[in-house]
Amino acid sequence: MMISTRGRYALRVLVDLAEQGGQGYLPMKELAARQGISPKYLERILRLLVGAQLVAGVQGKGGGYRLTRAPEDYRVGEILRLTEGSLAPVACLAGGAPACDRAADCRTLPLWTGLEKTVNDYLDRFTLADLMKR
pLDDT digits (tens, 9 = 90+) for 54-73: 999 998 888 899 999 999 99
What CA–CA distance (Å, rounded) separates 26 from 57?
9
User: Ranked by mean pLDDT, which of 59-63, 93-97, 115-119 comes out on top?
Assistant: 115-119
Amino acid present at 112: W
pLDDT at residue 22 in the model: 72
- Number of H-type helices and E-type strands within the chain: 6, 2
What CA–CA distance (Å, rounded) separates 69 from 35?
21
pTM: 0.90
